[in-house]
Structure 1
Amino acid sequence: MLAAAVGRPRVVRRLVRSLVTRAAGSPTYAPLPPPQKVKVALCQLHVTADKAQNLETARKAVEDAAKNGAKLVVLPEMFNCPYSNDSFPTYAEDIEAGASSSVAALSAAAAAARVTLVAGSIPERCGGKLYNTCCVFDSAGKLLAKHRKVHLFDIDIPGKITFKESLTLSPGPGPTVVDTEAGRLGIGICYDIRFPELAQIYAQRGCQVLVYPGAFNTTTGPLHWELLAKARAVDNQLFVLTCSPARNPDSSYQAWGHSTAVGPFAEILATTEHQPATVYAELDYAHIGERRTNMPLRTQKRHDLYALLDKTEP
């Protein structure tokens, strides 16, 4: 069949579509964990060049969040160092070798506060490479998962902002789904939120919440930060949490701030401005099933016309 198609582009295209569709098929959606209500805290932290101070700021924020009833606490992207290519190699820590002061501090903070902690991200050194890595801890301080940023932030908007993470960082291997006491979480970091396929994979795997520690800038932040969070939420009918550093006038990179919790109907549950703050919201996972029943997008998809092929499915 393939030999007969050679030299006939239309036939080749049809054959490729057929093979891809057959390989992908209709997706199998993992069942959602039981619904529950979870209070979340998004800690928009003031980040400086002093790592020890940044860790203490994070510890105190986690402690305060727990005192206010939060069971799921989220920290920002690169919360322990300035967001710059010059800083990443200097502040990087080897997590797998057990040589990470940040992981030790965060594990202790999660255990002391008895919360599930999505610990923003830190620069990680491993095997001669650097990664932008998010660690997730349970309420006993156990490291449940690591997510290495999949999509690197390489952009050039003339006269506005130029940044290329790939000058120092390497991309992560793929999606990270983690079951916690606070629900099934899909983890992304900042630029990962721009890629809907990653969010769709998380939805297929039964995630209830997508968590994106991020550090959008003041050029794209006003236009896209809230828009993308709403889009990922409404497309997949689940909750989305974004957590940014506070804006630091002394930093070379200005974060947008505006940490935000979004519901499965794209409703803003809670948000803030650009100053240091903690955003609280209560997530009722029963709303996911309700929204999917009211608007059954999953059963209305035309799988005969298009397909999402998850190449990393376990």
Structure 2
Amino acid sequence: MATSTSSPLKKPVTLACIQLASGADKTANLSHARDKVLEAAKGGAQIIVLPECFNSPYGCDYFPSYAETLLPSPPSKDQSPSYHALSSMAAEANAYLVGGSIPEADPDLASKKYYNTSLIFGPDGKLLASHRKVHLFDIDIPGKITFRESDVLSPGNKVTLVDLPEYGKIAVAICYDVRFPELATIAARKGCFALIYPGAFNTTTGPLHWRLQGQARAMDNQLYVAMCSPARDTTATYHAWGHSLITDPMATVLVEAEEKEAIVSWKLDGARIEETRKGIPLSGQRRFDVYPDISEGKVRFDEDNVPS
């Protein structure tokens, strides 16, 4: 079973979350992201994470105008400048790059479908996988915030696991996906050493649950969790919480940003996963005779593949 006490992380690896400040100019956002990715790589990061909607402002009104066509893959530079920018960043940094997320347009323009999509590239600049946000952010907290991504976006339909050959597997999901523990549970059972969530919680939900969600997913699954937010811009229509963080398998928050632009990083060590799982041996204590193992059901994966 993948969630045995042995570690799924083959050797230590430094992961960095870039809490990026982005504005209305996509070209400027991509250039700034490159600078920060190279800065993180120079600091020793081998896995680098950008935030949700890093190439544009976040909001339903912005998704259609900033959307790029990703399929059929690879897209041309005109179809997706962000795809090519991310590919170049990964190669130049010689690092694995979880490219936050960008608005994606369905190639059938008549469908008027859009997705919130993360692109993951290898150190050679090749696309390893992509994840379309599975759970859309539709909430209504009276007197606080109302937001409906489903008014504009369509949901993805796959669990995304990505193999990094030197290190092992990671799972990538986006923001609101973190509130649904099933995705994380399946990823852990399939042998991931880290859950990575580009996200943009707001100043209502952020102080309530951002840190708790990262700790909960780490505690339940005994692996590392990284959550990467945009920096907060109080002049924007949507105020991101910030506080990008990395949590260890014992649910200890190892490093956390504030609300401003920052890079936070940590060396992930498989020994910490093994120590946690030996001390609290959940894998051998699960009662699948009482409840089913959800990772063994009918699950759709995007593992080492791009949706087609």
Pairwise same-fold verdict (TM > 0.5): yes
Distance in 1 (CA, whole Å) between partners of 2:46 and 2:179 is: 27
Distance in 2 (CA, whole Å) between partners of 1:256 and 1:30 is: 32
Instruction: Give the counterpart letter for 2:144 in structure 1.
Output: K
Per-residue deviation, 1:46: 0.4
Per-residue deviation, 1:183: 3.2
Which is greater in Rg? Answer: 1
Per-residue deviation, 1:114: 0.1
Q: Quick check: 1:72–1:182 contact (8 Å CA) kept in 2?
A: no
Query: 1:48-96 deviations in whole A, cap 9, x for unaligned?
Result: 1110111011101101011111101000000011111110000000111
Distance in 1 (CA, whole Å) between partners of 2:169 and 2:250 is: 19
Shift >2 Å, 4+ stretches: 28-35
- After superposition, residues 124-139 of structure 1 pair within 5 angstroms as 124-126=104-106, 127=108, 128=111, 129-139=113-123
Q: Quick check: 2:157–2:300 contact (8 Å CA) kept in 1?
A: no
Query: 1:216-269 deviations in whole A, cap 9, x for unaligned?
Result: 000010010000000000100000000000001210000000000000000111
Where in structure 2 are there 5+ consecutive unaligned residues? 302-308
Query: 1:262-299 deviations in whole A, cap 9, x for unaligned?
Result: 00000111111000000011110221122111111011
Q: Which has the higher contact order (CA 8 A, sep 6+)?
A: 2
Distance in 1 (CA, whole Å) between partners of 2:248 and 2:134 is: 24
Distance in 1 (CA, whole Å) between partners of 2:252 and 2:293 is: 26
Distance in 2 (CA, whole Å) between partners of 1:251 and 1:101 is: 23
Per-residue deviation, 1:30: 7.1
Distance in 2 (CA, whole Å) between partners of 1:42 and 1:30 is: 25
Instruction: Give the counterpart letter for 1:110 in structure 2.
Output: A
Matched, 1:116 2:96: yes
**Percent sequence identity over aligned pairs:** 53
Distance in 1 (CA, whole Å) between partners of 2:172 and 2:132 is: 9
| Secondary structure, aligned partner of 1:306 | coil
| Secondary structure, aligned partner of 1:39 | strand
Instruction: Give the counterpart letter for 1:190 in structure 2.
Output: C
- After superposition, residues 41-120 of structure 1 pair within 5 angstroms as 41-97=16-72, 98=75, 99-120=79-100
Q: Which residue of 1 aligns with 2:171?
A: 186
Per-residue deviation, 1:182: 4.5
- After superposition, residues 162-181 of structure 1 pair within 5 angstroms as 162-180=146-164, 181=166
Aligned counterpart in structure 1 of residue 252 of structure 2, from 243, 267, 271: 267
| Secondary structure, aligned partner of 1:178 | strand
| Secondary structure, aligned partner of 1:245 | coil
Distance in 1 (CA, whole Å) between partners of 2:293 and 2:205 is: 28
| Secondary structure, aligned partner of 2:69 | coil
Where in structure 1 are there 5+ consecutive unaligned residues? 1-27
Query: 1:107-157 deviations in whole A, cap 9, x for unaligned?
Result: 001000100000000001124321100010000100000000010000001
Distance in 2 (CA, whole Å) between partners of 1:182 and 1:248 is: 35
Give the TM-score, by structure 2 length: 0.90
Aligned counterpart in structure 2 of residue 297 of structure 1, from 274, 282, 289: 282
Distance in 2 (CA, whole Å) between partners of 1:234 and 1:190 is: 18
- After superposition, residues 209-228 of structure 1 pair within 5 angstroms as 209-228=194-213
Aligned pair in 2 of structure 1 residues 119, 264: CA closer, same or farther (>3 Å)? same
Matched, 1:141 2:141: no
Count of residue pairs the alignment pairs up? 287
Instruction: Give the counterpart letter for 1:312 in structure 2.
Output: V
Give the TM-score, by structure 1 length: 0.89
Distance in 2 (CA, whole Å) between partners of 1:33 and 1:257 is: 29
RMSD: 1.4
